[in-house]
Structure 1
Amino acid sequence: MTEHICAEIVPIFEQLNHDELVKVSNLVVHHHFQKGEVILSPNTPSQLVIIAEGAAKTYQLSASGREQLLSVLDNGDFEGEKNLFGVVNQELYVETLKKSAVCTIATQEFQQLLAEYPSIALKLLKSNAEKIAALEKQNQLLNHDSVEQRLATYLLDLAKIKNSNQFVLPMKLKELASFLGTTPETISRKLRLFNERQLLTQKQHTINLIDIEELEALKSA
């Protein structure tokens, strides 16, 4: 990992010049985590977490302790920006999905950076608004009674985002099941059913949507 790779790969820092990136890098603390380690929770210090290499999931726990997946973080993604604006983390967890290199910046130090570079604060607000919109969309998904409806809606939305009817699922079945509020076995069974009905084909994690019209009908059922 180079000296300031974390600053270079995060979109909120993309307009900073070399000297400014080095200044950001001086605030960064580098960590290495194994799969399954929690790197952000209500019990950890307030900080911005950046995935330099690897992957992590963000989730909340229900009153019964059930995990509800919110998103999957890849290289360059970050979490914890709400902390920078004084919001106390009471429910968000970030856990590595594989061996990962992670960078953190303490909230107090990052707030000083925001005072010097207001454009970063605007980008953080935009990022936070996008995450809120994504959560609202997920809540709409979970309002569907049928898992088939949720899965069809998710796949169609993903095709629009990728601008292609063929794409690679961005998460494993376990994470996808948590995201859609069901079990991995149910997701696997529904994907086989969609395949049998010739709505799609699946090869490992690659999905090819075939009958868009029928999937749209299923989504609206």
Structure 2
Amino acid sequence: MLSDHLCVTVVPLFNHLALEEQRLINQVAFHKVFEKGEQIITPDSEDRLAIVARGSMKVYQLSSNGKEQLLRIVEPGGYEGENMLFGANSHHLFAEALQQTDICMIRRTDFQALLQQFPQLSLKLLMFSAQKMTTLEQQSQFLMMERVEERLATYLMNLAKVEGGPHLTLPMRKKELATFLGTTPETLSRKFKLLAEKKYLTINRQQVTLLDVDGLEEMIW
């Protein structure tokens, strides 16, 4: 069983706080193990922060036609739902375990009770949340300057983690994927063709097989 201290120290949202403040957070945190395929966050679940201590989870939303749209992969040290602690709605998001995953969770109601006792804690957490948002905005702007094939390679590598292997089924139409990656369908088709010519992958409609994972990783980095 994970120590109560592990989850708080592993996540950037909390590990800058004083040791005593971390201990206070541990008092309202609880652990749960999710098996592969189990949902960790759904639109119907109570508002809570989910911290990945071990394993990994995918975060996604559903398109208008009900298909999954992968948003990100959260690995140890990452978290989802911090906005819920402050009352912001994230009811369009889903999170699902990609393998047996240890999650440290903090309910919004428990956390708010802690804030009433120690209001200075909320100011610190709001500051770090603001810093996180600034970092995400900078990353987003940087992503827009990167080559489309790098964005595509990153997406496919993340999708491979979800699928658990090199054989992938694109979860959205290429037109939707192009919008998701910030490009046009024509450009996306050219980039798929380029990666296929370089023997990084094969593609047949919605079916993609990764042939050279190392090559894709080198392209990303």
TM-score bucket of the superposed structures, by smaller chain: 0.5 to 0.7
**5 Å matches for 1:16-95?**
16-95=17-96
**TM-score (structure 2 length as normaliser):** 0.68
Q: CA deviation at 1:173?
A: 6.5
**TM-score (structure 1 length as normaliser):** 0.68
* Matched residue, 1:116: 120
* Matched residue, 2:182: none
**Structure 1 residue ranges without an equivalent (≥5):** 142-148, 159-168, 211-221
**5 Å matches for 1:132-171?**
150-155=148-153, 169=157
**5 Å matches for 1:119-130?**
119-130=124-135
Tell which deviates more after alignment, 125-134 or 79-88. 125-134
2:193 aligned with 1:195: no
Q: Distance in 1 between matches of 2:139 and 2:44?
A: 25
Give the AA of the match of 1:26.
Q
State whether residues 62 and 69 of structure 2, in contact with CA within 8 Å, keep that contact through their aligned partners in structure 1.
Answer: yes
> Percent identity at matched positions?
26
Relative to 1, partners in 2 of residues 1:8 and 1:122: Cα closer, same or farther, differing over 3 Å? same
Give the AA of the match of 2:125.
I
* Matched residue, 2:108: 107
Secondary structure at the residue paired with 1:59?
strand
Q: Distance in 2 between matches of 1:136 and 1:113?
A: 36
Secondary structure at the residue paired with 1:11?
coil
State whether residues 41 and 89 of structure 1, in contact with CA within 8 Å, keep that contact through their aligned partners in structure 2.
Answer: no
Q: CA deviation at 1:87?
A: 1.9
Relative to 1, partners in 2 of residues 1:13 and 1:137: Cα closer, same or farther, differing over 3 Å? same
Secondary structure at the residue paired with 2:58?
strand
State whether residues 58 and 162 of structure 2, in contact with CA within 8 Å, keep that contact through their aligned partners in structure 1.
Answer: no
Q: CA deviation at 1:18?
A: 2.7
Relative to 1, partners in 2 of residues 1:64 and 1:103: Cα closer, same or farther, differing over 3 Å? same
Q: CA deviation at 1:194?
A: 2.7
Deviation string 1:178-218 (CA, Å, 9 cap, x unpaired) is 59828xxx99876442337xxxx9345863349xxxxxxxx
* Matched residue, 1:7: 8
* Matched residue, 1:145: none
State whether residues 29 and 104 of structure 2, in contact with CA within 8 Å, keep that contact through their aligned partners in structure 1.
Answer: yes
Relative to 1, partners in 2 of residues 1:19 and 1:152: Cα closer, same or farther, differing over 3 Å? closer
Q: Distance in 2 between matches of 1:13 and 1:111?
A: 15
Relative to 1, partners in 2 of residues 1:52 and 1:15: Cα closer, same or farther, differing over 3 Å? same
Relative to 1, partners in 2 of residues 1:32 and 1:188: Cα closer, same or farther, differing over 3 Å? farther
Relative to 1, partners in 2 of residues 1:79 and 1:173: Cα closer, same or farther, differing over 3 Å? closer
* Matched residue, 1:172: 160
* Matched residue, 1:207: 217
How many pairs does the alignment contain?
A: 185
Relative to 1, partners in 2 of residues 1:154 and 1:188: Cα closer, same or farther, differing over 3 Å? closer
